[in-house]
Amino acid sequence: MTEDPHVRRVLVLAHTGRAEAREVALEFCKGLTGHGIVVRLMATEAADLGIGPSDYDPAIELTESETDASRDCELTLVIGGDGSILRAVELTYASVTPVLGVNLGHVGFLAEAEQDDVESTLEAIVERRYTTEDRLTLDVRVYRDGELVTSTFAVNEASVEKAARRRMLEVILEIDGRPLSRWGCDGVVCATPTGSTAYNFSAGGPIVWPGVEAMCIVPLSAHALFARPMVVAPTSVIAIEVLARTGGAGVLWCDGRRAVDLPPGARIEVRRGAKPVRLVRLHDAPFTDRLVAKFGLPVEGWRGSAERRRKVVDG
């Protein structure tokens, strides 16, 4: 059965374990359906919210699919922190459905709106006053004895880390088919520009503006002379080999959500993803302003040009 292309649909995902998320989700369900937009919910989340299909007009659509949840939806509205947004990306990655985050967390770098912005966010959705921004992702593959055993993706980062706290991980880093360095370390982080303000930032890596297409590599507590953060081209292929002779096992984490055990001898290849993640933008604030706002950076005393000062004060 083909859905009516003239019917507008929005997939709503919420961190239903939090009371404020449930409250905000219900506000959006009421507001969207009140404007004739069909709301789709995961069946389990609808149960947590205490609502059924016939409670709204148009009726709520329920789905149990985690691979096709956003089909025919113009966007996915996520209510929660960055973890909830990363979960939403997992559900919508195949369809590249735009994701709009309403932040209930702390920093919330992936989110575009705050929980106090329900009315203005709702208006922007109804009136289609938003833009989308494609962000680079990572394609991550794990090989054992030359055989592909796992293929996944990452929005923020793919990190290879030691499995045992007391035992160091020994790896060799390879870039574009050539060995670069061998490290005894706690791990290695490969991050996107989007993820440069997440694990990469905490590990001492550089912040990369979203408009820059590149990948970051950050060794974690590496015992080596050459163990600085690096930035490579988006066309590069990064490979991390877990040395077999050292006996140390590792674990691969993608966005801190999906884990793969790595025995000695495993090879992890990271390259630019075939599909981007598409984020919804409601504001045209430059990334510099986002950094200042999210991290509370001190900018008192800045003068700039008179025109730029007016834009900051007015905007």
**Residues tagged active-site:** 82
Sign of the Cα torsion 68, 73, 74, 75 reads: negative
Round to whole Å and give the CA distance between 139 and 165.
27
> At residue 25, what are phi and psi to the nearest 5 degrees?
-60, -45
Of 104, 110, 51, which is closest to residue 81 (Cα–Cα)?
104
Q: Yes or no: say if 29 and 12 are a contact pair by the CB < 8 Å rule.
A: yes
The long-range contacts involving 290-297, CB below 8 angstroms and separated by at least 24 positions, are 290/109, 291/197, 291/207, 294/107, 294/108, 294/109, 294/197, 295/107
User: Residue 311 has which token pair?
Assistant: 């834009």
Of 137, 226, 136, which is closest to residue 181 (Cα–Cα)?
226
SS3 state of residue 309: helix
